[in-house]
Amino acid sequence: MGWVFVVVGALLVFVIAAVFVGSETFRLGHETPSAIFDVDDAVREVGDALSEEVQARLTYDEVKRVILAALGHLETKGMAAPPGRDERIIGERPEVVVADEDAVAVVLGAVEQDGLDVADEDAYAIIQALLFHLQRIGALGPLA
């Protein structure tokens, strides 16, 4: 008679564990993984990805200021979280498309207000390299 309690107890422990593991597996499978974004890494990678002509015209500090302006634009479009906040979306992530011309115009406006003079093609090259970096680390989906 004692072995019945052992078998029922073991089955009960197994069922509780299976339900817990199943629910966590489902939750993690439907949750978007968060991407870790480090500004200094992005500045280094984006700066190194630029052509030699653009690298000759801009410093890493200027590249950083353009990147921060671009990230501010992506944040207003709902594509990036502000620093220190983890945006987790469970289920389907809404698709957001940002036109290159709009991004360059907004970024150029922001950096000009900051007193920085950057050519349109340089800003475009930085934004393209930044988007590639964000896609590589898993922060953005494929580029359109």
Q: Please state, in angstroms and rounded to a whole number, the distance separating the CA atoms of residues 131 and 125.
A: 10
Coil, strand, or helix at residue 108?
A: helix
Does 44 score more than 90 pLDDT? yes
Cβ(58)–Cβ(118) below 8 Å? yes
Q: Please state, in angstroms and rounded to a whole number, the distance separating the CA atoms of residues 88 and 34.
A: 7
| Cβ burial 116-138 (10 Å sphere, 16+ → b, else e) | bebeeebbbbbbbbbbebbeeee
Does 112 score more than 90 pLDDT? no
pLDDT tens track for 53-88: 988 898 899 999 888 888 887 777 666 655 555 555
Q: Please state, in angstroms and rounded to a whole number, the distance separating the CA atoms of residues 124 and 118.
A: 10
Contacts of 140 (CB under 8 A, 6+ apart): 79, 131, 134
pTM of the model: 0.65
Does 111 score more than 90 pLDDT? no
DSSP annotation of 90 reads B
